[in-house]
Amino acid sequence: MQLRDIERNLESQPLFCQGLSTSLKGALMQNNFILSPSLLSCDFANLEQELKGLEEADIKWVHWDVMDGHFVPNITLGPPIIKKCRPKTSLFFDVHLMIESPEIYLKDFKEAGADLLCVHAEACIHLDSVVTKISELGIKPAVALNPHTPVEIIEYILPKLYMVLIMSVNPGFGGQKFIPYSIQKIKKLRKMIDQQGLDTLIQVDGGVTLENVKSIVEAGANVVVSGSAFFKHPPYKKRHRKFIEAISKK
C-alpha cells in the first residue's frame, strides 16, 4: 500500500484520530485505546522528568487532575503549574477540572496550554453554555459524570462533545477501587453514542488496573486514565506495554 493510501485511510478514522500525526493515528488505531496517566500519582518534585519519562514510554496523553477543595475534598494544582510545564513537552494535555464554577477559569486554562478541558456536569448550572465556551476557545470540550450521575443527563449535548469522562470512583483522591457498576454505565453511554452516529470518546477514570482495563475497553471506553497503577510501577515504557498486552490478551 502506498503512503498516500495509508494517510487517506487514516483520515477516515474516528474523531479521536483526526488532526493527529500519521504515526500517532496509527498507534491509536493499533492499540484501540489511549492511556492517559494521571499526574496525581507522579513525583511532583520532578514533574519535568516525569513528563519526559512519559514521552520516552510512547505515551501521547497526560491527565491533569485540577481540584479546588470545594467540589472535591482535595486541593491539587492550577493554571500556573500547567503553564510552566507546557513548553517542556509535546504531550496532549487532558485537563480534568474538578472545581466549582469552571466557566470562570476556562480562559486561564486555555492560556496555560490545555488541549482538552473536561468539566463536571454536576458543577455546571448551564452545561451547554460552558461546553460551547470551551469550543469557542479552540479547546476540545469534555464532560465528566460522577458515579451517581446518569449518562442521560448529557444526551442532548453529546454532538458537541469530544469526550465524556465516566468517573469510576468518587473524585478527590487517587488509589481508590473501581466501582463495578461503572461497566454498565460505559455500555449505556457507548450505545447512546453509536445510536447518534457520533465519534465521541469515552474516558474512564478511577481504579483502572491491568486486571480490569480489558473489560473497561470491551464495554466501550477508548481512553483510560491510570494513576497509581501506572506511576507506581516503573519503568514506564514497560508498564505502558503491560496495559496494551492486558487489553490484547484473549
Burial bucket for residue 198 (CB in 10 Å: 0-12, 13-18, 19+):
middle
Closest CA relative to residue 207, chosen from 225, 223, 183:
225
115 is catalytic: no
How remote is the C-alpha of 111 from its chain's centroid?
Answer: 19
68 is catalytic: no
43, 68, 194, 205: the catalytic one is: 205
Query: What does residue 207 show for φ and ψ, rounded to 5 degrees?
Result: 70, 25
Cell of 48: 519535568
Question: What DSSP string runs through 192-241?
Answer: HHHHTT---EEEEESS--TTTHHHHHHHT--EEEESHHHHTS--HHHHHH
5, 43, 58, 65: the catalytic one is: 65
Closest CA relative to residue 231, chosen from 35, 83, 88, 94:
35
Q: Which residues are catalytic?
A: 65, 205
